[in-house]
Amino acid sequence: MKLILLGAPGAGKGTQAEIICNKLNIPTISTGNILREAIKNKTERGVMAKSFMDAGKLVPDEVVVGIVSERLTADDCKNGFILDGMPRTVAQAKALDDMGVQIDMVISIEVDDSAIERRMSGRRVCEACGSSYHIEHKQPKAEGVCDSCGGKLVLRADDAPETVRDRLRVYHEQTEPLVEFYNAKGILKAIAGDDGIDATTRRVFEALGV
Ligand code: AMP
């Protein structure tokens, strides 16, 4: 299963990707997590990406296309993968086509902007492994500590309300056209993502037929 998760920032792509990853035993490739790791390690790529990310803008296409094309050659991607947060522009989707990547399904998780803005203020991420939590909807077992790796849970800098509004604008302008792009290829499934994690997971599994 080669799967793309589409949706606005905070729609629940990362959360659903973790669940699907465990169910289908295929890796999640999150360009956001890879970029945050690069920033933490102060790599050349990280230093370059930071200013775009802090401002809620997209990192240039060639950077993320480079990251994903490298990552897809790894052994663990042979039986499939979940792309979380890539593609985010039509140019990135075309780059995947040019690489010969045959996507089986694109699930678009739909949540309206006002719900996203409310949601983002409660989101916390593990600074070590990138797992995501929510102070109301997905609490860790111990407050402030990642269940998976014991890392510290922090508020992402780009989850600040004014940056969230910029990210939503970028989503509508640059990423949402991908819904039509993949619909035209006949591989798009749009599902509601506004009523809780479990209900969304049920719809995701139904779309996947698992
Ligand atoms: P995310 O964790 O998916 O919300 O991504 C956080 C930030 O990383 C985005 O706001 C962008 O600045 C950058 N980013 C992640 N994936 C991409 C992508 N496919 N194209 C461009 N920028 C990206």
- Return per-residue pLDDT of the chain as tens, 210 residues: 999 999 999 999 999 999 999 999 999 999 999 999 999 999 999 999 999 999 999 999 999 999 999 999 999 999 999 999 999 999 999 999 999 999 999 999 999 999 999 899 899 999 999 899 999 889 999 999 999 999 999 998 899 999 999 999 999 999 999 999 999 999 999 999 999 999 999 999 999 999
Q: What are the strands, taking DSSP E only, across 111-208?
A: 123-126, 132-134, 153-154, 188-192
Beta pairing, strands 188-192 & 153-154: unpaired
Q: Is 86 in the pocket of ligand 1 (CB under 6 A)?
A: yes
Q: Is 83 in the pocket of ligand 1 (CB under 6 A)?
A: no
Which amino acid makes up residue 26? Answer: I
Q: Is 42 exposed, middle or buried (0-12, 13-18, 19+ CB in 10 A)?
A: exposed
Q: Is 167 in the pocket of ligand 1 (CB under 6 A)?
A: yes
User: What sign has the CA pseudo-torsion 120, 126, 131, 134?
Assistant: negative
Which amino acid makes up residue 153? Answer: L
pLDDT at 96: 98
Other CB atoms within 10 A of residue 142 CB: 10
pLDDT at 157: 86
Our answer to whether residue 124 is catalytic in this structure is no
Residue with CA nearest ligand 1 atom 15: 32
CA of 130 to the centre of ligand 1 (A): 13
SS3 189: strand
* Rg (alpha carbons) of the chain, rounded to whole number: 16
